[in-house]
Each structure stands twice: as C-alpha cells, then as structure tokens.
C-alpha cells in the first residue's frame, strides 16, 4: 500500500502523520510525507514537522518528502492525483482551526473530491486493533468492505461489518414476519435475505484477505445507528462509503457522509465507489 501522509505542521496534522505511520510501517512500500505551506512565514515549523514524521517512520522504507505551497485542500488533491497512491491520510482540522472547520473543512473537501480512499484522523493511538466497516448493499458497500479489509489486513486488526436496515424490504416481508426485522446478522444470513447475502459476501471477502471479521445489523436511522455503534464500542477506525447518485439523492447521501465525518470522534476512512460505478454516472 502506497500512502500519502499530509501535514501542515498543526497539531491535527501531526496527529495524522503519527497515526498514518502505524499503517506506513506495516507496508513494504515507502510512504510520501507531504507538507503543505499556506503561510511562507511558517516554513521552519513545517520543516520540523516533516523531520518529526521521518522519526515516526523509523524502521519503515525511507519516505519521500514533498512540500507544496498553497491552499491545503487544493495541493493535497493535486498530489493525490499526480502520484500512484492507495490511501490519503490527513488531520480533521488544519492551522485555521474551528473557523475553517465550520466553513467546510479541508478534510471534508478532500474526502468529497478525491478518487482515493481518505483517512481522516482526530488523534493518535498506539495501535489499530478494531475496525468498523459500515456497508450498504451493492458494489459501493463491498468497496467499503474491500478498502477497510486492506487496512485491517495490513495492520492485523479485527473487523466488525455493520449494516443498518433503515427501511423494510418488501421481498423480506413477503416471506418473513415483522418480528424477524429485528433479527441478528446471523439470522438474516441464514434466511437468505438480500441483506443477509450481502453480509455473507462481505465476510467472505474479508476471509479471503485473512481478516477476522463478524457481522452486525442495526435497525433505524442510518446516521444515528452508525454513530451509536461507532462511539459505543472501542473501534479505532470507522470505514464509511461514498455512493454514486444523481439529483437530490446525491445531496442527501453527501449530507449523510458529511454528518458522519463531522460527528464521529474516531478516525474515519472514507472509501470510494468502484470505477465502473463512477463511469456509469
């Protein structure tokens, strides 16, 4: 896995750099540390931040250091597009703090516009042990499983696959009673429902990666249920997907992603829809 680690020298940027080093040290490919300089007067601070990043990557393949001057979101997106990266890692906030965050954070903009998976970090942990993958049905959902599975496989983490049933499936109701809608993941898989088959696919995909995984189902509003699960258990990374849609549905789904990025107090890995889904819209 080739990783782009981004920092502007801020506290959040360095937290992302340190967190990302956990992943980069597990990879056989050298990472790139990108320093973004928005204020020329802060070059010395950025140089110290880059040097600290090299220390955190001790024992890993020697990283490549790059510095770009300009707006963080624009420069990070340019570098992500120019390089052959598999993952972008950055902090939840930059040097402008809460003001920029409320106006639309750099992290949120990059997660929305990047074609690569983006890991948004809020703090540092000594290791990554538990990953929550939130999956919808279909290819976008399996893309999130694959992205989260690659990370978990690399660092040796366990995975919980979460599917939120926010609507009553008509085909399911035709053969099962309303009482079954509160069924556990194993019951859904045994019944052969659409959701159950999707969870089986997800677990099989993770199994092929050598990842220990379990499935979990919650019922209710998507954002509320994901937040309750993510914040109620000791997960280190929460994986969410972006979905391809048009018109008002696109804005609705983007708002769900934005709410999760904003409100969950864990590292968020934003997976991307597969290329064939992007090309069809």
Q: Is 185 helix (H, G, I), strand (E, B) or coil?
A: helix
Alpha-carbon distances, residue 92 vs 15, 101, 105 (angstroms): 9, 8, 8
Buried b / exposed e over 176-203, threshold 16 CB at 10 Å, is beeeebebebeebbeeebebbebbbbbb
Q: What is the pLDDT of residues 173-197, one digit of tens each?
A: 444 544 444 457 777 777 767 788 8
Q: Which domains, and CATH codes, for the chain?
A: 3-121 (3.40.50.620), 130-279 (3.40.50.620)
| Predicted structure pTM score | 0.86
Q: Is 1 helix (H, G, I), strand (E, B) or coil?
A: coil
**Rounded Cα gap, residues 76 and 145, in angstroms:** 25
Query: Residue 236 carries which DSSP code?
Result: S
Sign of CA dihedral 254, 155, 276, 137: negative
Q: What is the pLDDT of residues 130-147, one digit of tens each?
A: 999 999 877 778 999 999
Look up residue 26 and give its two tokens: 């597990």
Q: What is the pLDDT of residues 72-100, one digit of tens each?
A: 999 999 999 998 999 999 998 754 544 34
**Rounded Cα gap, residues 5 and 167, in angstroms:** 39
Spans of the chain below 70 pLDDT: 94-104, 167-183, 192, 243-255, 274-281
């Amino acid at each position: 896995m080739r990783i782009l680690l981004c920092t502007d020298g801020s506290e959040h940027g360095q937290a992302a750099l340190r967190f990302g080093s956990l992943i980069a040290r597990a990879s056989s490919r050298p990472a790139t540390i990108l320093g973004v300089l928005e204020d020329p007067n802060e070059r010395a601070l950025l140089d110290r931040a880059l040097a600290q990043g090299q220390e955190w990557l001790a024992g890993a393949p020697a990283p490549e250091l790059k510095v770009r001057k300009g707006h963080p979101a624009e420069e990070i997106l340019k570098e992500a597009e120019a390089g052959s990266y598999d993952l972008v890692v950055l902090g939840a906030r930059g040097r402008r703090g809460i003001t920029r965050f409320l106006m639309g954070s750099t992290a949120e903009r990059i997660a929305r516009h990047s074609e690569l998976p983006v890991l948004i970090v809020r703090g540092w942990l000594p290791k990554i042990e538990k990953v929550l993958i939130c999956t919808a049905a279909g290819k976008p959902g399996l893309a999130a499983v694959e992205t989260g599975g690659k990370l978990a496989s690399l660092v040796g983490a366990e995975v919980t696959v979460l599917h939120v049933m926010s609507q009553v499936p008509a085909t399911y109701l035709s053969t099962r009673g309303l009482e079954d809608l509160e069924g556990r993941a194993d019951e859904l898989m045994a019944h052969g429902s659409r959701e159950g088959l999707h969870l089986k696919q997800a677990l099989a995909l993770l199994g092929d990666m050598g990842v220990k995984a379990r499935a979990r189902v919650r019922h209710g509003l998507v954002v509320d249920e994901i937040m309750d699960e993510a914040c109620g258990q000791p997960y280190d990374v929460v994986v969410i997907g972006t979905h391809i849609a048009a018109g008002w549905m696109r804005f609705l789904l983007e708002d769900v992603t934005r709410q999760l990025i904003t409100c969950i107090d864990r590292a968020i890995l934003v997976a991307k829809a597969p290329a064939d889904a992007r090309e069809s819209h």
